[in-house]
């Protein structure tokens, strides 16, 4: 079972249509106001203006099965604690996600390629659309943007649905998708992929023409201050797209990444990104610091960065993070601590 879980790759896709700001082309709340200090009446303000955050801070209570509620709750717990804004449960997205999980469940035994985002019309057992946008459209979700993440989990775990979400949070591009998008809605689908293994599909979407986003002077991260993350001596698994295509993860396991972003349409430049175990003065080794300029798959936007530890983080350990850089040219230093379980 462990071999199966580590062999199956995660997959991610984001489809952007008319949504302003999707893919880093600007957008969000365009209102602005001067920074807090008020100049004398005869003085022209010269300081930067700050665009306020327009984050969702409250959503209706989740409904449905205990399994689904656990996955929804974990996603919003992370997004809320780290300042990315909450997502609302959407029954149409949930139907689309459940349809796709059922499709994978129905066809995986005979066709391993059934695990992924693209459905094959030749596998008629549960087919509802080739791509995520097709499957959400057929259930009546009229979206301007759709994102989809898929992850497996060990069915014998105490909480496999939460394990699947945590697996997404340990894979850089999926982490970006789960916490970094400015979408508003989500739907979860869960089904048995193979004996002992579940498949979770998470569909994200928006029917609005603007994104929810952080303030223009803010830097949001995951992990963030007070986060508790999962770690394993085996390190993180493969994801699709693969950030390190030439690395043997068995011989050289990686640690779970740290994601940072500024407001959509702005530019994040990193000068120093240090992660240090509590009690140590030596930063851990980095496998890579990806930005839009260095990301091998060109999925990161100018406002995003991913730091990958060169080895798995130690269990039950507090890590201190220091990020020094500029946000649209304005210098910042961000420090926080998180703990592994």
Give the dihedral of Cα atoms 191, 156, 75, 326; nearest 10 deg: -120
The pair of structure tokens assigned to 208 is 């609005």
pLDDT at 232: 87
pLDDT at 10: 53
pTM of the predicted model, to two decimals? 0.89
pLDDT at 47: 53
Q: What is the SS3 assignment for 3?
A: helix
Distance CA 27, CA 14 (A): 17
pLDDT at 195: 95
pLDDT at 283: 98
The pair of structure tokens assigned to 270 is 């990193």
Cα distances (angstroms) measured from residue 127 to each of 15, 96, 104, 134, 187: 20, 11, 9, 11, 18
Q: For the chain, which ranges sit under pLDDT 70?
A: 1-47
pLDDT at 14: 55
């Amino acid at each position: 079972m462990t071999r199966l879980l580590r062999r199956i790759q995660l997959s991610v896709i984001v489809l952007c249509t008319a949504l302003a700001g999707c893919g880093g082309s600007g957008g969000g709340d365009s209102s602005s106001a001067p920074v807090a200090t008020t100049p004398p009446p005869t003085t022209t303000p010269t300081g930067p203006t700050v665009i306020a955050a327009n984050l969702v801070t409250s959503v209706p209570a989740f409904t449905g099965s205990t399994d689904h509620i656990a996955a929804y709750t974990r996603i919003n717990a992370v997004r809320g604690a780290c300042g990315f804004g909450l997502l609302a449960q959407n029954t149409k997205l949930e139907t689309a996600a459940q349809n796709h999980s059922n499709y994978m469940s129905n066809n995986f035994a005979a066709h391993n390629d059934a695990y992924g985002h693209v459905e094959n019309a030749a596998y008629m057992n549960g087919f509802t659309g080739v791509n995520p946008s097709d499957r959400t459209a057929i259930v009546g979700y009229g979206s301007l943007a759709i994102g989809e993440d898929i992850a497996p989990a060990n069915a014998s775990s105490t909480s496999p649905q939460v394990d699947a979400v945590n697996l997404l949070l340990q894979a850089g591009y999926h982490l970006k998708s789960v916490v970094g998008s400015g979408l508003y809605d989500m739907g979860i689908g869960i089904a048995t992929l193979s004996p002992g293994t579940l498949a979770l599909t998470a569909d994200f979407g928006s029917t609005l023409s603007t994104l929810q986003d952080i303030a223009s002077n803010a830097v949001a991260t995951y992990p963030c201050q007070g986060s508790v993350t999962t770690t394993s001596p085996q390190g993180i698994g493969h994801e699709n797209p693969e950030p390190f295509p030439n690395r043997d993860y068995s011989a050289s396991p990686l640690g779970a990444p740290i994601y940072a972003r500024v407001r959509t349409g702005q530019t994040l430049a990193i000068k120093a990104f240090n992660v240090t175990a509590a009690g140590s003065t030596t930063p851990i080794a980095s496998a890579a610091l990806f930005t839009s300029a260095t990301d091998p798959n060109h999925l990161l936007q100018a406002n995003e960065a991913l730091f990958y530890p060169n080895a798995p983080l130690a269990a039950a350990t507090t890590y201190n993070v220091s990020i020094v850089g500029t946000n649209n040219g304005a210098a910042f230093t961000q420090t926080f601590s998180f703990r592994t379980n």
